[in-house]
């Protein structure tokens, strides 16, 4: 059952110390939503902590108040409440979970269709294209006046998760939120330049590698590429630099599904899947292997060598493309 903003605000009212967290390998929605909600709680006079397994990646340091996000501490801490945003399962919080010794109240605010509601109170809206939009509507329904920190983070969260207001789920509500956020002080061109026109050279090196090594399979309907740890190291690339590469493959005419395989340090392969056709459901495919996400954008982690995982998962994707067409 989904709780209302009023229920959640009421449950959080007595809490003095609150932790706001989001998923590992965070994107703009995860971090922007964390920062916006943390700011809201702080304005209510609470002591607020904000952690992410990966700390604050360099590429998102433009987010207002970004310096407050840290990796979890090594000594576990107790909180009156934990608020998880944009996080489909508790496991996706990674090492943050190990650093919470006690928390009697869990709030789960998310837009992933695969979210099963692990909170004591859950506000889950898969029709929202970003967790940031759910938070915007949360604040609007309670009449909370947004300051520039909240507005900037919510705009960045919504803009990045919708591919700059392009993806499925972008609707009148989304543009309503954007309009109110701009009125609250967001400078669209300055913020957009930081989000979309300020990639480090490392990202460009990785993009060149991607374009040189991508393969088109399944009668050119499946586009895939991979990067090994050795290649990442040789390019001096950081994990955060891989974000967005997959959009270049998905953008090729005729491609139905794009997949990206990234070798991680623990013998796992991180797979990102993007679909352009609603009848090829990326979330359902990833869920078969223990992952999740959205119908057109999902992910999963599998154990094995890069080659073996690619062979197996590419075959699954091609099978699903053939079934879906
Ligand atoms: Mn999101």
CATH number for 279: 3.10.310.30
Please indicate, yes or no, whether residues 167 and 207 belong to a single structural domain of this protein. no
Whether the CB-CB separation of 129 and 158 falls below 8 Å is answered with yes
Separation of alpha carbons 312 and 183, rounded Å? 49
Please indicate, yes or no, whether residues 190 and 214 belong to a single structural domain of this protein. no
Please report where in the chains the tokens 């991180």 appear, as a residue.
Answer: 270
Question: What pLDDT score does 139 carry?
Answer: 98
Please indicate, yes or no, whether residues 176 and 54 belong to a single structural domain of this protein. yes
Separation of alpha carbons 34 and 50, rounded Å? 7
Distance from Cα 219 to the centre of ligand 1, integer Å? 31
Last residue of a domain, one of 196, 221, 246: 196
Last residue of a domain, one of 196, 223, 243: 196
Question: What pLDDT score does 4 carry?
Answer: 97
Please indicate, yes or no, whether residues 98 and 207 belong to a single structural domain of this protein. no
* Tokens linked to 29: 């929605």
DSSP letters spanning 189-248: HHHHHHHHS---HHHHHHHHHHHHH-EEETTTTEEEEEE-HHHHHHHT--GGGGTTHHHH
* Tokens linked to 268: 């796992």
Helix axes 131-142, 28-43, angle to 10 degrees: 20
Taking only the tens of pLDDT, the chain with its 325 residues reads 799 999 999 999 999 999 999 999 999 999 999 999 999 999 999 999 999 999 999 999 999 999 999 999 999 999 999 999 999 999 999 999 999 999 999 999 999 999 999 999 999 999 999 999 999 999 999 999 999 999 999 999 999 999 999 998 999 999 999 999 999 999 999 999 999 999 999 999 999 999 999 999 999 999 999 999 999 999 999 999 998 899 999 999 999 999 999 999 889 999 999 999 999 999 999 999 999 999 999 999 999 999 999 999 999 999 999 998 7
Residue 305, number of CB atoms within 10 A of its CB: 12
Distance from Cα 130 to the centre of ligand 1, integer Å? 5
pTM summary value? 0.93
Please indicate, yes or no, whether residues 43 and 142 belong to a single structural domain of this protein. yes
Question: What pLDDT score does 325 carry?
Answer: 72
Distance from Cα 30 to the centre of ligand 1, integer Å? 6
Please indicate, yes or no, whether residues 126 and 249 belong to a single structural domain of this protein. no
* Tokens linked to 46: 């609470």
Domain count across the chain: 2
Please indicate, yes or no, whether residues 210 and 257 belong to a single structural domain of this protein. yes
Separation of alpha carbons 221 and 251, rounded Å? 12
Please indicate, yes or no, whether residues 165 and 226 belong to a single structural domain of this protein. no
Distance from Cα 179 to the centre of ligand 1, integer Å? 20
Please indicate, yes or no, whether residues 301 and 176 belong to a single structural domain of this protein. no
Distance from Cα 234 to the centre of ligand 1, integer Å? 31
Domain that holds residue 80: 5-196
DSSP-H helix ranges across 265-305 = 282-288
Question: What pLDDT score does 252 carry?
Answer: 96
56 HSE (CA, 13 A, CB side): 16
Question: What pLDDT score does 67 carry?
Answer: 97
């Amino acid at each position: 059952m989904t709780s209302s903003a009023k229920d959640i605000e009421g449950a959080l009212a007595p809490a003095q110390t609150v932790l706001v967290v989001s998923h590992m390998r965070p994107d703009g929605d995860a971090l922007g939503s964390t920062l916006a909600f943390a700011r809201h709680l702080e304005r209510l006079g609470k002591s607020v902590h904000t952690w992410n397994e990966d700390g604050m990646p360099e590429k998102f340091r433009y987010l207002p108040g970004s310096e407050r996000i840290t990796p979890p501490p090594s000594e576990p801490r107790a909180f009156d409440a934990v608020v998880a945003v944009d996080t489909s399962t508790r496991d996706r919080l990674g090492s943050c979970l190990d650093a919470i010794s006690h928390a009697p109240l869990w709030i789960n605010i998310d837009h992933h269709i695969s979210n099963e509601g692990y909170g004591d109170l859950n506000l889950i809206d898969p029709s929202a294209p970003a967790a940031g939009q759910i938070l915007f509507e949360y604040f609007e329904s309670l009449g909370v006046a947004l300051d520039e920190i909240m507005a900037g983070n919510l705009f960045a969260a919504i803009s990045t998760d919708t591919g700059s207001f392009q993806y499925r789920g972008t609707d009148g509500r989304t543009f309503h939120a954007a309009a109110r956020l701009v009125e609250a002080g967001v400078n669209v061109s300055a913020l957009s330049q930081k989000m979309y026109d300020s990639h480090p050279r490392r990202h460009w090196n990785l993009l060149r590698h991607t374009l040189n090594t991508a393969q088109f399979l399944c009668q050119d309907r499946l586009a895939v590429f991979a990067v090994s740890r050795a290649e990442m190291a040789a390019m001096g690339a950081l994990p955060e630099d891989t974000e967005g590469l997959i959009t270049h493959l998905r953008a090729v005419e005729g491609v139905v599904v794009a997949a990206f395989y990234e070798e991680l340090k623990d013998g796992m392969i991180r797979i990102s899947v993007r679909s352009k056709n609603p009848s090829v459901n990326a979330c359902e495919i990833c869920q078969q292997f223990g992952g999740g996400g959205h119908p057109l954008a999902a992910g999963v982690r599998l154990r094995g060598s890069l080659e073996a995982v690619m062979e197996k998962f590419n075959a699954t994707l091609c099978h699903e493309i053939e079934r879906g067409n």
